[in-house]
C-alpha cells in the first residue's frame, strides 16, 4: 500500500506574527546546519516516511495557520537530561499560507494535505489573519466584512 504524504501542525508559542517567528529562527541559525531550521519536540512522529515524502510543518501563530516549512529530515537529539527527542529539520525558507484558524492544542498534530491551507502567491508577504475570503473570522462564525443589502 502506498502511503500518501502528510504534514504536521505545530504552535509557534510566543510569536506574534510570521515576522516574529522568522526573527527567532534567524537568531538561531548559527546553531543549525546551513539552509536549515530545527525545531525539537519530545515525541517522534510515527509517520516519518510520509513527512519526508514532501511534507511540511505548518505553523500556528496566535491561533491561525500562517506559514509552513518543508521537512528535510528527522534526527534524534539528547540533551543533558538524557531524554531522547526528535529534531524536526526544516528547510530555512518560510512559505506563507492562507490564514486558517486553529484551536489551541499541545505538541503537534498530523495535518492531511487536503485540509492544509494553500500557499500565498509568490511575492505576497502578508495575508490578513482576521479575514478569509472577504469574511471576518470570529469564534467559528463567519461574519461579512461589509454590510450587505443596506446603504451606509
- Assigned C-alpha cell, 106: 499541545
pLDDT for 127: 56
Decide if 147 is inside a domain: no
Three-class SS of residue 108? strand
Cα angle for residues 23, 26, 28 (degrees, 5° grid): 115
Average pLDDT of the chain, as a whole number: 84
Q: Which regions in the chain score pLDDT beneath 70?
A: 1-3, 124-152
Q: What pLDDT shows up at residue 1? A: 52
Strand residue runs (E) in 1-152: 7-11, 36-41, 56-61, 64-78, 84-91, 95-101, 108-111, 131-132, 135-137, 142-144
- Residue 3's pLDDT is 66
The answer as to whether 84 is a domain residue is yes
Full residue range of the structural domain in which residue 22 is found:
7-125
> Domain for residue 138, yes or no?
no
Note whether residue 52 is domain-resident: yes
Q: Domain count of the chain?
A: 1
Residue 140: inside a domain, yes or no?
A: no
Please report, for the domain that includes residue 91, its CATH number.
2.30.130
What pairing do the DSSP bridges indicate for beta strands 95-101 and 7-11? unpaired
Instruction: Check residue 144 and give its pLDDT.
Output: 39
The C-alpha atoms of residue 35 and residue 67 are separated, in whole angstroms, by: 17
pLDDT tens per residue across span 107-146 = 999 999 999 999 999 776 665 555 444 444 444 444 333 3
> How many Cα atoms are found within 13 Å in the side-chain-facing hemisphere of 17?
8
For residues 6 and 110, the answer to whether their CB atoms sit within 8 Å is yes
Amino acid at each position: 500500500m502506498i502511503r500518501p504524504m502528510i504534514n504536521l501542525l505545530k504552535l509557534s508559542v510566543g510569536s506574534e506574527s510570521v515576522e516574529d517567528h522568522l526573527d527567532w529562527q534567524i537568531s538561531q541559525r548559527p546553531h543549525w546546519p546551513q539552509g536549515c531550521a530545527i525545531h525539537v519536540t519530545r515525541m517522534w512522529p510515527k509517520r516519518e516516511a510520509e513527512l519526508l515524502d514532501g511534507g511540511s510543518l505548518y505553523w500556528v501563530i496566535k491561533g491561525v495557520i500562517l506559514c509552513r516549512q518543508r521537512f528535510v529530515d528527522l534526527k534524534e537529539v539528547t540533551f543533558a537530561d538524557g531524554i531522547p527527542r526528535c529534531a524536526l529539520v526544516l528547510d530555512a525558507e518560510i512559505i506563507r499560507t492562507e490564514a486558517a484558524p486553529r484551536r489551541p492544542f499541545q505538541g503537534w498534530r498530523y495535518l492531511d494535505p487536503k485540509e492544509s491551507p494553500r500557499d500565498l502567491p509568490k511575492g505576497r508577504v502578508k495575508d490578513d489573519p482576521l479575514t478569509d475570503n472577504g469574511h471576518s473570522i470570529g469564534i467559528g462564525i463567519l461574519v461579512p466584512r461589509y454590510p450587505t443589502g443596506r446603504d451606509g
